[in-house]
Amino acid sequence: MSEHPHSAPEELIFALDIGTRSVVGLIVEPTGEQFRVIDCTIREHSERSMLDGQIHDVMAVSKVIGKIKEELEEKHGPLTKVAVAAAGRSLRTKRVRMDLPLSRHAAVTRDDVLTLEFSAVQEAQAQLAQELNEQDVTRYYCVGYSVVNYFLDGELIGNLIDQRGEIASVDVIATFLPRMVVDSLLAALHRCGLDMQALTLEPIAAINVLIPVTMRRLNIALVDIGAGTSDVALTEEGAITAYGMVPVAGDEITDALMNAFLLDFPMAEEVKRALTHAEKISFTDILGLEQTLSSEEVVKAILPEITNLAGKIAAKILELNGKPPQAVMLIGGGSLTPKLTERVAEALGLPASRVAVRGADAIRQFVGEHPLLDGPAFVTPVGIAVAARRHPVKYVTVTVNDAAIRIFDLRKMTVGDALIASGLDIRRLHGRPGMAITLTVNGRMRIIPGGHGTPPVIEKNGEACGLDTPISEGDRIVALAGADGEDAQAQVIDLMDKLDTLELTVNDEPVSLGPIALVNGMPHPLDAPLQDRSEVVIRLPRTVEEVLQEAGMLDAGASEGDEEFFRFVVNGRETVLPARMKIIQIGGKDAALSDFIRPGDRLVYREEPYHAPAIRDVIPPEEWVQESISVRFNGQPVTITLSALSITMNGRPADQDEQVENEAVITVKASPPTAPVFSDVFRYVDVSLERPETEGITRLVMLVNGEPASFHTELHAGDKLELYWE
């Protein structure tokens, strides 16, 4: 401490930049608004303990940090606090498209758009957790997001607010910092007896020292090209809008030199570094041959790899920004690669002057002239030290629905960020619209929408607020989900556009009938609720039956038990007939219930008691069988029955001409046949056997087939009988 008697140790800032290949430690002294780098030390990792910015071996990394700490403590006294940055390459970027069904009649509000954007960020968070098999989605801090595009009904649109449509969509790129990165960083520091004084993100650190606030309204891309990865950050409208990472960087150029000239890794690294300042380069390949080439020849051999690196960096910038930025700044050791700036400018379609490497000269205001800090590799370490004083990242602790939530204050944090960090599903906050009903009405589809859901209640410290309301330490946030809309309901009466009527007369009285409804082919009351996917037909009555039902003269719902019937049994077979007869006439002509009817028709309808039939009318023909023969009597045909019918009704003998009684049990039996004689004919013919008064007539002549016969002569089928006086 003897070198700096005027500085108390706590005033010095100890900053660490933990990279994939090496760790840089700085001691920075703040003097008013300026910063002076007092000391610097660099150590490379002895083994692959870092991978793409993530600490894989905490103990190995803490050893390197410990050595740097010891080295600096020899000159500057005990160091207990350190400023660090989470590597840009450890950030996870996810692109997500999210849809929001809209109410058909309402315009899109700012709240709708914010809900959609935060829902997309939350979906990105969930997808990221799923990809990395992480159960707790809140283990990823959202450190920034940018909207790539808005869509309305699938069409690209500049701004959704006040638009109307069916589906609003947003395409969002969200960047997350895994909590594991911070946890491993803390663990490595604690092993060395260091507390985290401040945390920042490497891209933010670099932007803080490279790009003044006055320049941040410009659309600038910052690319930190390290050994393993190239980190990309974008600024616009005064804020850092997006982060990204490309897994290609300086090592790709080293590999290209190894392949082109058969070099081992350390020799290829030496050649790569010499390219930035030497015109002639000498090296020894793995076969022991020495070569001396001009730097132009060396660059020419690896130009395809340089072009490839530039192309991938440019593609990531375009993906994050949606368009070429106004300028590109390259930092990090890999930015010194020859021809890289020209190739990046070509890939982005920018003038070469708009892409530049920014080194120690760009941060001279902070560094001054320091012999060790001579290139773009030191921009980020200095930025980390500056951020520790100017933009320290703190935890913000708020409560969401009485649960304490800690959030990294990496940017202007809002109520929406707090809700995401708490794990609340933002999509579920707004009440869902009720289920719609889809109907087919007279062959056309009709959709009956459900009720609207109500918006959520979101309050900060007891006052209503929006998702974009800024939050600060200790805020109390309450978020209550809105109520879901009621499911759609519909009755036939709701579906009727115009009410036609059918005019006609029934029993000489004028009648006016409205439409009827058939649902899935069955009659349906006009005021009864309809089920989803029903097929509805609405029309005027068409048949006599429908007219009588609508006129209240025919009970459509009458069950068989309610109606009176006339029943009887003949030889064990029951017959059931209505107790009342329906008399139907249209225009004076008999008609049936199923007959069609037209406007203006004169309909007559009445019911009369059923007239009981005679027994003969209800005996089936097959029960009425009697054997008979046919003969001719005096030239006339005569049928003689050979057997007699025996009829009983309710157990008593009955005549065939008697009326059937209700509930009667009738039995019909035929007696065995007997041979007929001449006298049987007299039952079927009307003939007088008295002798006429005429003179000369003395005797009665009886002939069968011309032969004399008597009353007892037996007859056969086809016999010719004659009877006369002479």
Of residues 461, 497, 466, the one with CA closest to residue 478:
461
Residue 219 located in a structural domain: yes
Q: Are residues 205 and 314 in the same domain?
A: yes
Regions in the chain scoring below 70 on pLDDT: 1-10, 20-21, 33, 45-58, 88-89, 104-105, 134-138, 213-214, 216, 237-239, 360-375, 391-395, 408-411, 499, 555-563, 621-626, 643
Q: Are residues 411 and 372 in the same domain?
A: no
Residue 142 located in a structural domain: no
Confidence at residue 452, expressed as pLDDT on a 0 to 100 scale: 78
* Residue 678 to residue 712: CA distance in whole angstroms: 6
Residue 31 located in a structural domain: yes
Confidence at residue 7, expressed as pLDDT on a 0 to 100 scale: 41
- Cα within 13 Å of Cα(345), Cβ side: 14
| Contact indicator for 647, 653 with CB cutoff of 8 Å | yes
CA distances from 152 to 100, 160, 164, 320, 450 (A): 10, 7, 8, 21, 22
Confidence at residue 626, expressed as pLDDT on a 0 to 100 scale: 67
Residue 101's φ and ψ, nearest 5 degrees, are -65, 135
| Contact indicator for 332, 226 with CB cutoff of 8 Å | yes
Residue 650 located in a structural domain: yes
Q: Which residues pair with 407 in a beta bridge?
A: 396
* Residue 549 to residue 551: CA distance in whole angstroms: 5
Residue 241 located in a structural domain: yes
Q: Which residues contact 232 (CB under 8 A, 6 or more apart)?
A: 88, 203, 221, 222, 223, 242, 243, 244, 245, 246, 313, 316, 317, 320
3-state secondary structure at position 265: helix
Confidence at residue 561, expressed as pLDDT on a 0 to 100 scale: 45
Residue 129 structure tokens = 């957790």
For 437-464, give the DSSP string.
Answer: EEEEETTEEEEE--PPPPPPEEEETTEE
3-state secondary structure 36-92: EEEEEEEEECCCCCEECCEECCHHHHHHHHHHHHHHHHHHHCCCCEEEEEECHHHCE
Residue 511 located in a structural domain: no
Within the chain, how many helices (H) and strands (E) appear? Answer: 14, 43
Q: Are residues 428 and 366 in the same domain?
A: no
Q: Are residues 320 and 465 in the same domain?
A: no
Of residues 121, 179, 116, 185, the one with CA closest to residue 152:
116
Task: Supply the angle between the helices 340-348 and 295-321 in degrees, to the nearest 10.
Answer: 40
Of residues 411, 467, 523, the one with CA closest to residue 117:
467
Distance between alpha carbon 531 and the CA centroid of its chain, in Å?
A: 22
Confidence at residue 4, expressed as pLDDT on a 0 to 100 scale: 42
* Residue 149 to residue 169: CA distance in whole angstroms: 8
Q: Are residues 375 and 405 in the same domain?
A: no
* Residue 289 to residue 263: CA distance in whole angstroms: 10
Confidence at residue 52, expressed as pLDDT on a 0 to 100 scale: 47
In the block, tokens 């004919």 appear at 681
Of residues 2, 52, 4, 45, the one with CA closest to residue 28:
4
Q: Which residues contact 701 (CB under 8 A, 6 or more apart)?
A: 708, 722, 723, 724, 725, 726
User: What's the domain count of the chain?
Assistant: 3
Q: Are residues 215 and 318 in the same domain?
A: yes
Confidence at residue 351, expressed as pLDDT on a 0 to 100 scale: 93
* Residue 299 to residue 281: CA distance in whole angstroms: 11
Q: Are residues 357 and 251 in the same domain?
A: yes
Burial class (CB in 10 A: 0-12, 13-18, 19+), 263: buried
CA-CA-CA-CA torsion for 10, 13, 18, 21, nearest 10 degrees?
-120
Confidence at residue 308, expressed as pLDDT on a 0 to 100 scale: 93
Q: What angle do CA 49, 55, 59 make, to 5 degrees?
A: 60
3-state secondary structure at position 498: coil
H or E stretch including 384?
Answer: helix 379-390
- Cα within 13 Å of Cα(378), Cβ side: 25
* Residue 108 to residue 304: CA distance in whole angstroms: 49
What is the bridge-based pairing of β-strands 13-18 and 22-31? antiparallel
CATH number at residue 411: 3.10.20.30
* Residue 599 to residue 502: CA distance in whole angstroms: 6
Q: Are residues 330 and 421 in the same domain?
A: no
Residue 33 located in a structural domain: yes
Q: Are residues 315 and 202 in the same domain?
A: yes
Residue 53 structure tokens = 């910015």
Q: Are residues 253 and 316 in the same domain?
A: yes
Tell which of 390, 419, 443 closes a domain: 390
One-letter amino acid of 174: A
CATH number at residue 202: 3.30.420.40
Confidence at residue 387, expressed as pLDDT on a 0 to 100 scale: 77
- Encode pLDDT of 289-329 as tens digits: 999 999 889 999 999 999 999 999 999 999 888 889 999 99
Q: Which domain holds residue 424?
A: 394-433+453-488
Which of 373-404 are b and which e, b meaning 16 or more Cβ less than 10 Å from the residue's Cβ? bebbbbbbbbbbbbbbeebebeebebebeeee
Q: Are residues 331 and 410 in the same domain?
A: no
Residue 156 located in a structural domain: no
Tell which of 390, 416, 442 closes a domain: 390
Q: Are residues 626 and 709 in the same domain?
A: yes
Residue 387 structure tokens = 């951020």
* Residue 615 to residue 288: CA distance in whole angstroms: 133
